[in-house]
């Protein structure tokens, strides 16, 4: 379980996060939703420590990541896997080297074992025979899969995904969402997914947090999201015609 407590963050005097508290549960896919520019990515970056919050702190299973000492932070970092919006594969490394990289820098595993683990992870995300391909040679959907393989290679306890299906066609989006959900349940990971895609909310929104202009306005799940009284959330949920028809 991850607890974010009263996170505040400003950039150049502009308040982006205005005191957000949220808990993300183990073995579930926790979604942070909201329209573009509301601070979803900034919240995620605060949680994983890429950005230091002005106020507040983040607990990983009770361990204070924000104010903890270097040793604790390193320990927690080892337990984190992250999938970035544009996959963020290293251009100069091939698929195998990309997936192996977190093991190279965070563990002392011998090469043979690393290779075995890399192949296992690539297989798990449905990729085979791409080990020697460069990132520029594979499709967007495959990059996401490689990104997921890289994120899970060190057996993380916490998995973060920033807009995992941005730039993908609807069908590939759903398979990626499903893959993330499967991995979460299979390995009992605390997964946090940032998205603005209602399809994902319906598919994998076991827990949903709605952000609006730097505030958390609602939390719940895909089961009760359509019944909320929050106007901003309803505007977001029923933005497209299909959802309106369903309503």
Partner 1 sequence: MQKLGKFILFMGTLFTRRENFGTYVKLTIDECIKVGYNSLFIVTIVSVFMGAVVTVQTAYNLVSPFIPDYVISLVVRDMTVLELSPTIIAIVYAGKVGSNIAGELGTMRITEQIDALEVMGINASSYLVLPKIIASMIMYPMLVVLSAFLCMYGGYLTSLATGIISGYDYIYGIRYEFIEFNVSFALIKAFVFSFLVASISAYKGFFTSGGALEVGQASTAAVTNSCIAILLADYLLAQLLLA
Ligand X SMILES: Nc1ncnc2c1ncn2[C@@H]1O[C@H](COP(=O)(O)OP(=O)(O)O)[C@@H](O)[C@H]1O
233 binds partner 1 (CB under 8 A): no
The one of ligand X, Mg ion, partner 1, none whose footprint includes residue 105, by CB under 5 to 8 A per kind, is partner 1
Angle at 194 between CA 221 and CA 149, to 5 degrees: 110
105 binds partner 1 (CB under 8 A): yes
Binding site for ligand X (CB under 6 A): 11, 16, 34, 36-42
Least distance to ligand X, CB of residue 244, Å: 24
Least distance to ligand X, CB of residue 247, Å: 25
CB-based contact 141:168 (threshold 8 Å): yes
Q: Which is nearer to ligand X, 42 or 176 (CB)?
A: 42
41 binds Mg ion (CB under 5 A): yes
CB-based contact 183:124 (threshold 8 Å): yes
The one of ligand X, partner 1, Mg ion, none whose footprint includes residue 240, by CB under 5 to 8 A per kind, is none
Q: Which is nearer to ligand X, 40 or 150 (CB)?
A: 40
Binding mask 21-60 for partner 1 (x = CB under 8 A): ------------------------x--xxx----------
The one of ligand X, partner 1, Mg ion, none whose footprint includes residue 84, by CB under 5 to 8 A per kind, is partner 1
**Of these, 80, 148, 198, 201, which contacts partner 1 (CB under 8 A)?**
80
Least distance to partner 1, CB of residue 173, Å: 19
SS3 117: helix
Check residue 128 and report its DSSP letter. Answer: -
78 binds partner 1 (CB under 8 A): yes
Residues 131 and 30: their CA atoms lie apart, in Å, by 31
The one of partner 1, ligand X, Mg ion, none whose footprint includes residue 126, by CB under 5 to 8 A per kind, is none
Angle at 197 between CA 165 and CA 241, to 5 degrees: 135
Residues 15 and 213: their CA atoms lie apart, in Å, by 9
* First-to-last C-alpha distance (Å) of the chain: 33
From residue 66, give the alpha-carbon distance in Å to each of 80, 121, 199, 247: 14, 30, 33, 42
84 binds partner 1 (CB under 8 A): yes
Using DSSP, how many helices (H) and how many strands (E) does the chain show? 9, 10
Q: Which is nearer to ligand X, 38 or 87 (CB)?
A: 38
Strand partners for 55? 8
């Amino acid at each position: 379980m991850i607890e974010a407590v009263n996170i505040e963050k400003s950039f150049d005097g502009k308040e982006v996060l205005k005191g957000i508290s949220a808990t993300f549960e183990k073995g579930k896919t926790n979604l942070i939703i909201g329209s573009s520019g509301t601070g979803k990515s900034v919240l995620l970056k605060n949680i994983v420590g890429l950005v230091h919050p002005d106020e507040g702190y983040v607990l990983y299973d009770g361990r204070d990541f924000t104010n903890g000492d270097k040793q604790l932070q390193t320990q927690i970092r080892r337990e984190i896997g992250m999938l970035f919006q544009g996959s963020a594969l290293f251009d100069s490394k091939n698929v195998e080297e990309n997936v192996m990289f977190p093991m190279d820098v965070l563990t002392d595993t011998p090469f043979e074992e690393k290779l075995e683990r890399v192949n296992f992870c690539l297989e798990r995300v449905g990729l085979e025979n791409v080990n020697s391909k460069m990132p520029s040679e594979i499709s967007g959907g495959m990059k996401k899969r490689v990104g997921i393989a890289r994120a899970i290679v060190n057996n993380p306890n916490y998995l973060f995904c920033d807009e995992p299906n941005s730039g993908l066609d609807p069908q590939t989006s759903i398979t990626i969402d499903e893959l993330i959900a499967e991995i979460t349940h299979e390995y009992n990971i605390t997964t946090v997914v940032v998205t603005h895609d209602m399809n994902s909310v319906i598919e994998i929104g076991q827990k949903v947090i709605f952000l609006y202009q730097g505030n958390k306005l609602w939390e719940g799940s895909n089961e009760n999201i359509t019944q909320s009284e929050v106007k901003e959330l309803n505007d977001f949920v029923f933005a497209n015609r299909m959802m309106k028809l369903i309503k």
